[in-house]
Amino acid sequence: MSDIRTKEVDDLLTVLAALDDEDAIFTLLEDLFTIREIRETSQRLAVAKLLSSGKSYASIEDATGASATTIARVSKCLSYGSGGYKRALEVLNQNGEQCQDA
């Protein structure tokens, strides 16, 4: 288990898991994170979607504005991470999202 997995992190996970309304989750995100952090986090998910659909780094950079470093970091997590991005993409696919252009 990672050192970051603390009681406080578990509390956050409990809250997020209990919220089933997108608006309630968004208002929590607005209170917890800066606008920049929300944009950067959602950008990483968009990068993961495009990487999983086979897009090139250059096209992902053009589509999302993400840096090559961010794209490489997301790619590394997709290949060698703990599976969080893969699970997120499964959720999006189950909800009718397409893993194509962001």
Number of Cβ atoms within 10 Å of the Cβ of 89 = 19
Q: Spell out the residues 6+ positions from residue 30 whose beta carbon is closer than 8 angstroms to its own.
A: 38
pLDDT digits (tens, 9 = 90+) for 42-92: 999 999 999 999 999 999 999 999 999 999 999 999 999 999 999 999 999
pLDDT band for 96, please (50, 70, 90 cuts): confident
pTM for the full predicted model: 0.84
Predicted confidence at residue 70, as pLDDT, reads: 97
pLDDT digits (tens, 9 = 90+) for 1-43: 578 999 999 999 999 999 999 999 999 999 999 999 999 999 9
Q: Spell out the residues 6+ positions from residue 73 whose beta carbon is closer than 8 angstroms to its own.
A: 44
Domains, the chain, ranges and CATH?
A: 1-32 (no CATH), 40-102 (1.10.1270.10)
- Cα distance between residue 86 and residue 24, in whole Å: 24
- Cα distance between residue 26 and residue 22, in whole Å: 6
